[in-house]
Chain A
Amino acid sequence: MSAFKRDKKEEEDSGGNPFQNIEKTSVLQEARIFNETSVNPRKCIPILTKLLYMLNQGEQLSAKEATDVFFAMTKLFQSKDVILRRLVYLGIKELSSIADDVIIVTSSLTKDMTGKEDIYRAAAIRALCSITDATMLQAIERYMKQAIVDRNPAVSSAALVSSLHMTKFAPEVVKRWVNEAQEAVNNENVMVQYHALGLLYHIRKTDRLAVTKLVARLTRMSLKSPYAVCMLIRIAAKLIEEEGADNSSPYFQYIESCFRHKSEMVVYEAAHAIVNLDRTTSRELAQAISVLQLFCGAPKPTLRFAAVRTLNQVAISHPAAVTACNLDLENLITDSNRSIATLAITTLLKTGAESSVDRLMKQIATFVSEISDEFKIVVVQAIRALALKFPRKHSVLMNFLSAMLRDEGGLEYKASIADTIITIIEDNPDAKETGLAHLCEFIEDCEHVSLAVRILNLLGKEGPKTKQPSRYIRFIYNRVILECPSIRAAAVSAMAQFGASCPELLENIQVLLARCQMDSDDEVRDRATYYSNILSKNDKSLYNNYILDTLQVSIPALERTLKEYIQNSTEEPFDIKAVPVVQISKPDEQDTKPKSEGMLISSGPTKTAPASREEQFAVRLSNLPDVQSLGPLFRSSEVIELTESETEYVVRCVKHCYARHVVLQFDCLNTLNDQLLENVRIQLEPSEGYKIVNQIPCPKLPYNETGTVYIVLQFPENDLPNSIGTFGAVLKFIVKDCDPATGLPDIDEGYDDEYMLEDLEVTLGDQIQKVSKANWGASWDEAESTFFEMEDTYALSSMNSLEEAVTNIIKFLGLQPQERSDKVPKGKTTHTLLLAGIFRGGIEVLVRAKLALADGVTMQLTVRSQNEGVSELITSAVG
C-alpha cells in the first residue's frame, strides 16, 4: 500500500504540468516582449506557448486584451525561426475571433502561403482562412485556387479543408473553385483526394442532379483513396434514402460492390451504410451482417470495436439479423478491451430473452467499474430498453441502477441513470415506489446540483400520488437543512406540492415552510413565503394555478417580451397571457437529426443550444413591416410542401399564427439555372371570411437560391367556424432568361409566368399550442364550473385500433396528451385520452376523449374551454 502511494506521488511530480500556475495578466505582460526591435525566438517561444495553452484552457480575453496581444504577435513575422512562425499561425487562429482588425496579417500570410518555404505554406493557408471574411475573400481567391491544385499534398489538403470552412460565410465565392476541386479529386495523394471530394460534394449538395452526376462519374472511376471511397459510400447512401431507391439502384450496387474492396475500412463502411438504410430487406442485410460478424472475430481491436458498435446500434431496428451474431457476441464478452465487451453485452441485452437478463447483468457487474463513463452510459441505455421490454425484471434492473448511482461518475452519466429510473417509474406503476426510494437515497449524497434539483421536482410531482406521501417529506426537508441555496429552493417547492395535494400533511408542511422563511437566501425565503401564503388560503383553484401548474411560457420569449415592456414605459400592467407558451419539443427530434448530415460533415463539439425554432421565426418576422402590431407570435406550423419534389420551382410554406392574424411564409427555390425570377408573388384565394392585410413579394430569385414571400391575413372576424379553410395558391413571377455560366440575364425585358401550387389549409391544429398540465385532473375538475363544455359522440369507423385512433386524434386536434394517456395499454378495449392546449388568444382548452373499440372506434368527446365558440369549433371540427 505504501509503495503504491509513493508511486502515485512520483507520477504527480514528473507528470506535473509546467503551465499549471500561469495567470492571464502575467502572460499578457510577458507578451509585450514581442514588441522589441529585434525578436528573440528563444524567449518568445515559451511565452507564446503559454498564451496558447491558456486560451485552450478556456481563459477569456476581452477584445482589447486580444487585440493588443494580437498586434504584438504580428511583429514576430520579423523572425525567420520556423517554430516561432508556426506558433504565430496558431496564435492567429486562436485570436482571430476575438481580436479586432485581424485582417492586418493577410498580406504576410499570403506571402508565406505562396513562398518557397514548404513548411509554412499549409499552416499559413489555415491561418489565412480563419481571419478572412466574405469581403476579403476576393483578394485571396487567386491564391486559394492555385493552392488547391498545388503539387504539395499538404498545401492542397489545407486549401481544400479551408475552402470547406469558408463555404459557411462565402458559399458563392467557394462555388467558383469547383474546377480546381475537380482537378484535385484526381490527385494521387489519398488525403487530397478525400478532401477534394468533401469540398466538391459540399459545393454541389443542394443540387441533386449535380450530386447524381458526381456519384455516377466517381463510382466508375475507382478512387484510389479509401477515405474518399468511404465518403462516396456515405453520399450514395444518402441518395438512396432521399430517392427512396431499392436494391436495384446503381448506388446500392456500388455499395455492395465495396464489400469486395481490399481496404477493411471500406468494407466496414459499406456494411455500416447498408444496415443503417431505412428500407433494407433481410436479404441485403444478411450480407452486411456477415461482414460485421467476420469483423467480430478480427485480430485488430478497432475492427472488432467498429463491428460490435454497429451491431449495437441496429440491434433494436433489426433484432433478428443481430441475433444471428449472438455466438460471436458471446465470445466478445470477455474481450480484454472493455469497450468492446460492454458493447457486446449490451447488444445481447437488447436482443436477448428475458431469461438471459440475470446472467448478463452479473457479467456486466464484474467490470462496470473498469469502463469509462461513456460506456457506462451505453450500459444504462441498454438497461432502459430492457426495463421497457421486460417490465417484470424491474427490481433486478432497478437494484443495478441504484448501485451504479452510488458509484463515482460524471454528471452526464449520473443524469442518464436518473433519467432511466424516471422513465421506468413513469412506464411501470409497479416500479414507482422502489424507484422513488432509490432516488431519495441518491439525493442524500449527490454532488450534482442540477440533478438534485430535477429529482426534487420529480418527488414533488410523483410523491403526493403514492400510497404513503409522508415518508418523502423527511428526505426533502433534509435537503433544506444541508444543501446549497438552489437545492434548498427546489426542496421548498417540492414540499409545497405535497401541501397542496395532501390535506392531511398540510399542517406539517406549513410548519416546515415557516422555518424556511428564516433561510439566509432570498430565493428560498421568497418561495417559502409565497407558498405558505397560498396554502393558508385553502382554495383549490389557487393551489392548481399557482402551485401545481408551473409557468408554461417560453422562457426566451418571456425575456424578450419583458425587455420590450420595460422599454415601452407604458402604464398598463404586464400581460403574461401575451407571452407565447412554450412549444413542447418532441423527444425523438434530437436523436434523428444528426444522422445524415453528421455522417458527411462533422459538426464539431456541440455548442450551446440554439434559440428555439419559434424564437428564430419571431425575430425574423418582427423585421417585416407592420408585423409587430400583430402582437406576439403564437405558433408556427410544420413546413408544408406546396410543390412535388424535383420540380422547376420548389415552394414550402410555414403558417405563423397570431391572436387574430396568420402570416404565411412561402420559401421559394428556383432550380432552373437558365432563369432569373423577379417580382415573385403568391396569388392567394382565401376562403370565406379571411382578409388579406399585406403581401410582401420577393424582388429577385436567382438560380439555386431561396427567397421568401410573405402574406399577412386576418382570421374571419367573430366567425370561428370559418377559421378552418382551404386556399388556392398560384406562384407568379417575371422570368428573365439568362446565361447558366454567369447567371446574368441575356436581355433586360422579361415575361410574366405562373406556376400552380397545391392548396393550402389552415387547420385547427395551426391555431392551438400544446401545453402540459402538471395535474390534469385538478384542472379538469376546476374547469367544470368555470369553462364552457361541449360534448358529442362519434363513430370513427375507419379506425381499426385504439392506438390508431389516439394518434390520429392527437394529430388532428394539435393538443398535448397528458398523464401519458397517449400510451394505450396492451389488450384493452377502452381507453381515455386526456389532452390540453391553448387556442390562439390565450384561451385554455381541455379535452377528454373516451374511446371504445367495437367494430371501429366510438368516441365520446368532451371539450372544456374558456370560450364557447372554441369548444364548439373543436367538437364540430371532429365531426
Chain B
Amino acid sequence: MGLFQKLVNLLGVGRKEVNVLVVGLNNSGKTTVVNSFKSEEDKMTDIVPTVGFNIEKFQNQNLAFTAFDMSGHGRYRDLWEHYYKECHGIIFVIDSSDRLRLVVVKEELDLLLQHPNICQKSIPILFFANKMDCKDALSSVKIAAALGLDKIMDKPWHISASNALTGEGLQEGVEWLTQQIRENLNVKH
C-alpha cells in the first residue's frame, strides 16, 4: 500500500466499496442482523420474511458494505448462486436454537463451499450462531463442530454467538470480517 493510499484510508475518504452476501436458512435472522448494522434513521421497524433478496448498505470502519440479504426459504435457496461471483465476503447466519434443521444448514453450507464460484476463492466467511438468547440455543463451539467448520482449510472463517435483537456479538463478528476483507484488498494492490 502506497503512502497516499494509507493517508486516504486513514482519513476515511475514498471509502472502499465491498459486497457481502448474507445467507442462511429462513427465519435464522439474516434480515434482522443486517438491519442492526444500519444507522438509526435507516432502520426498519417491521421485519417480514424476505422474498428473493434485499440490498442494504452500511459502513464499518472505512469500508462501505453492500449487503445482499438473501431469502432463506427452501424455494429460493437455488437463487443464492446468482450473487456468488462478485462478493468479497459471506455472512452465514444460523438459528442456534433450531437443532432440528442443523443438518439442513450443513447441507446448504456444503453446497455453497463446493460451488465453482466460491471454492476457488479465498473469501472470508463469518458465521453468526444467532438467537443465542433462546434457552435451548447451542453454543457456538457445538455448532462449529456440528457443521464441521474445522475442515474448511482454504478460507478464513470465524464464528460468533449473537443476538440480533440486542446487537450482542454482532460487532465483534463484523470487525473480524472487515479486517479480513481489507487484508484481501491490500494483497491485490
Interface of A with B (CB < 8 Å)? 35-38, 71, 74-75, 77-78, 101, 103-108, 110-111, 136, 139
Check B53 for interface membership: any CB of A closer than 8 A.
yes
Partner of A107, one of B50, B57, B66, B85: B50
Known interface pairs A36-B86, A75-B86, A78-B66; A104-B19 also in contact (CB < 8 Å): no
Is B18's CB under 8 angstroms from A107's CB? no
Pairs A–B under 8 Å by Cβ, sample size 26 = A36-B86, A37-B17, A37-B18, A37-B86, A74-B53, A74-B82, A75-B83, A78-B55, A78-B57, A78-B66, A101-B79, A103-B51, A103-B76, A104-B76, A104-B79, A105-B52, A107-B51, A107-B52, A107-B53, A107-B54, A107-B71, A108-B52, A108-B53, A108-B54, A110-B51, A111-B54
Known: A37-B19, A107-B52. 9 other contacts (CB 8 A): A35-B85, A37-B18, A101-B79, A103-B51, A103-B76, A107-B50, A107-B53, A107-B54, A136-B51
Known interface pairs A36-B86, A37-B18, A37-B19; A106-B52 also in contact (CB < 8 Å): yes
Question: In the assembled complex, how far is the CB of residue A241 from the closest CB belonging to chain B, in whole angstroms?
Answer: 44
Q: How far is the CA of A35 from the CA of B68 in the complex (A)?
A: 13
Question: In the assembled complex, how far is the CB of residue B38 from the closest CB belonging to chain A, in whole angstroms?
Answer: 13
Chain A residues with Cβ below 8 Å from B85 are 35
Q: How far is the CA of A35 from the CA of B52 in the complex (A)?
A: 17
Q: Which residue of A lies closest to B81 (CB)?
A: A71
- Size of the B side of the interface (Cβ < 8 Å), in residues, is 21
Question: In the assembled complex, how far is the CB of residue B46 from the closest CB belonging to chain A, in whole angstroms?
Answer: 10
Q: Which residue of A lies closest to B87 (CB)?
A: A37
Q: How far is the CA of A106 from the CA of B85 in the complex (A)?
A: 22
Is A108's CB under 8 angstroms from B18's CB? no
Chain B residues with Cβ below 8 Å from A106 are 51-52
Chain A residues with Cβ below 8 Å from B83 are 75
Is A104's CB under 8 angstroms from B53's CB? yes
Question: In the assembled complex, how far is the CB of residue B31 from the closest CB belonging to chain A, in whole angstroms?
Answer: 9
Is B17's CB under 8 angstroms from A104's CB? no
Question: In the assembled complex, how far is the CB of residue A719 from the closest CB belonging to chain B, in whole angstroms?
Answer: 59
Is B55's CB under 8 angstroms from A139's CB? no
Question: In the assembled complex, how far is the CB of residue B145 from the closest CB belonging to chain A, in whole angstroms?
Answer: 33
Chain B residues with Cβ below 8 Å from A136 are 51
Q: How far is the CA of A111 from the CA of B85 in the complex (A)?
A: 25
Q: How far is the CA of A77 from the CA of B53 in the complex (A)?
A: 10
Q: How far is the CA of A742 from the CA of B156 in the complex (A)?
A: 56
Is A139's CB under 8 angstroms from B51's CB? yes
Q: How far is the CA of A154 from the CA of B54 in the complex (A)?
A: 24
Chain B residues with Cβ below 8 Å from A74 are 53, 82
Is B55's CB under 8 angstroms from A108's CB? yes
Chain B residues with Cβ below 8 Å from A101 are 78-79
Chain A residues with Cβ below 8 Å from B50 are 107
Residues 53 to 98 of chain B near chain A (Cβ within 8 Å): 53-55, 57, 66, 71, 76, 78-79, 82-83, 85-86, 88
Is B51's CB under 8 angstroms from A38's CB? no
Question: In the assembled complex, how far is the CB of residue B55 from the closest CB belonging to chain A, in whole angstroms?
Answer: 5
Chain B residues with Cβ below 8 Å from A107 are 50-54, 71
Q: How far is the CA of A35 from the CA of B83 in the complex (A)?
A: 9
Question: In the assembled complex, how far is the CB of residue B7 from the closest CB belonging to chain A, in whole angstroms?
Answer: 21
Chain B residues with Cβ below 8 Å from A75 are 83, 86
Partner of A38, one of B17, B53, B71, B76: B17
Chain A residues with Cβ below 8 Å from B82 are 71, 74, 104
Is B55's CB under 8 angstroms from A77's CB? yes
Q: Which residue of B lies closest to A106 (CB)?
A: B51
Task: Choose among A75, A104, A107, A139 the residue with the greatest number of B CB atoms under 10 Å from its CB.
Answer: A107
Chain B residues with Cβ below 8 Å from A108 are 52-55
Q: How far is the CA of A78 from the CA of B54 in the complex (A)?
A: 9
Is B18's CB under 8 angstroms from A104's CB? no
Question: In the assembled complex, how far is the CB of residue A501 from the closest CB belonging to chain B, in whole angstroms?
Answer: 67
Chain A residues with Cβ below 8 Å from B78 are 101
Known interface pairs A78-B66, A104-B76; A35-B86 also in contact (CB < 8 Å): yes
Q: How far is the CA of A359 from the CA of B100 in the complex (A)?
A: 91
Q: How far is the CA of A578 from the CA of B76 in the complex (A)?
A: 49
Known interface pairs A71-B82, A75-B86; A103-B17 also in contact (CB < 8 Å): no
Q: How far is the CA of A647 from the CA of B48 in the complex (A)?
A: 46
Q: How far is the CA of A101 from the CA of B83 in the complex (A)?
A: 14
Q: How far is the CA of A101 from the CA of B55 in the complex (A)?
A: 17
Q: How far is the CA of A101 from the CA of B57 in the complex (A)?
A: 24
Chain A residues with Cβ below 8 Å from B71 are 107
Chain A residues with Cβ below 8 Å from B49 are 139
Q: Which residue of B lies closest to A38 (CB)?
A: B17
Q: How far is the CA of A101 from the CA of B76 in the complex (A)?
A: 9
Chain B residues with Cβ below 8 Å from A37 are 17-19, 66, 86, 88
Residues 100 to 138 of chain B near chain A (Cβ within 8 Å): none
Question: In the assembled complex, how far is the CB of residue B30 from the closest CB belonging to chain A, in whole angstroms?
Answer: 12
User: Nearest 4 CB-CB pairs, A to B?
Assistant: A104-B52, A106-B51, A38-B17, A71-B82
Question: In the assembled complex, how far is the CB of residue B178 from the closest CB belonging to chain A, in whole angstroms?
Answer: 16
Q: How far is the CA of A874 from the CA of B71 in the complex (A)?
A: 70
Is A103's CB under 8 angstroms from B55's CB? no
Question: In the assembled complex, how far is the CB of residue A655 from the closest CB belonging to chain B, in whole angstroms?
Answer: 45
Question: In the assembled complex, how far is the CB of residue B54 from the closest CB belonging to chain A, in whole angstroms?
Answer: 5
Question: In the assembled complex, how far is the CB of residue A200 from the closest CB belonging to chain B, in whole angstroms?
Answer: 28
Q: Which residue of B lies closest to A136 (CB)?
A: B51
Question: In the assembled complex, how far is the CB of residue B133 from the closest CB belonging to chain A, in whole angstroms?
Answer: 26
Q: Which residue of B lies closest to A108 (CB)?
A: B54
Chain B residues with Cβ below 8 Å from A38 are 17
Chain B 1-44, CB-CB to A under 8 Å as 1, else 0, gives 00000000000000001110000000000000000000000000
Chain B residues with Cβ below 8 Å from A105 are 52-53
Q: How far is the CA of A71 from the CA of B57 in the complex (A)?
A: 19
Chain A residues with Cβ below 8 Å from B17 are 37-38
Is B52's CB under 8 angstroms from A103's CB? yes
Q: How far is the CA of A202 from the CA of B73 in the complex (A)?
A: 35
Question: In the assembled complex, how far is the CB of residue B17 from the closest CB belonging to chain A, in whole angstroms?
Answer: 4
Chain A residues with Cβ below 8 Å from B19 are 37
Q: How far is the CA of A105 from the CA of B83 in the complex (A)?
A: 13
Q: How far is the CA of A78 from the CA of B83 in the complex (A)?
A: 13
Q: Which residue of B lies closest to A139 (CB)?
A: B51
Question: In the assembled complex, how far is the CB of residue B182 from the closest CB belonging to chain A, in whole angstroms?
Answer: 15
Question: In the assembled complex, how far is the CB of residue A844 from the closest CB belonging to chain B, in whole angstroms?
Answer: 57
Q: How far is the CA of A38 from the CA of B78 in the complex (A)?
A: 24
Q: How far is the CA of A77 from the CA of B69 in the complex (A)?
A: 12
Q: How far is the CA of A199 from the CA of B53 in the complex (A)?
A: 31
Question: In the assembled complex, how far is the CB of residue A147 from the closest CB belonging to chain B, in whole angstroms?
Answer: 16
Q: How far is the CA of A532 from the CA of B111 in the complex (A)?
A: 69
Q: Which residue of A lies closest to B31 (CB)?
A: A107
Q: How far is the CA of A36 from the CA of B17 in the complex (A)?
A: 11
Chain A residues with Cβ below 8 Å from B54 are 107-108, 111
Q: How far is the CA of A522 from the CA of B65 in the complex (A)?
A: 66
Q: How far is the CA of A446 from the CA of B62 in the complex (A)?
A: 72
Q: How far is the CA of A147 from the CA of B55 in the complex (A)?
A: 22
Question: In the assembled complex, how far is the CB of residue A74 from the closest CB belonging to chain B, in whole angstroms?
Answer: 8
Q: How far is the CA of A107 from the CA of B57 in the complex (A)?
A: 15
Question: In the assembled complex, how far is the CB of residue B79 from the closest CB belonging to chain A, in whole angstroms?
Answer: 5
Q: How far is the CA of A139 from the CA of B79 in the complex (A)?
A: 19
Q: Which residue of A lies closest to B18 (CB)?
A: A37
Chain B residues with Cβ below 8 Å from A77 are 55
Q: How far is the CA of A74 from the CA of B70 in the complex (A)?
A: 12
Q: How far is the CA of A37 from the CA of B85 in the complex (A)?
A: 10
Question: In the assembled complex, how far is the CB of residue B185 from the closest CB belonging to chain A, in whole angstroms?
Answer: 11
Q: Which residue of B lies closest to A101 (CB)?
A: B79
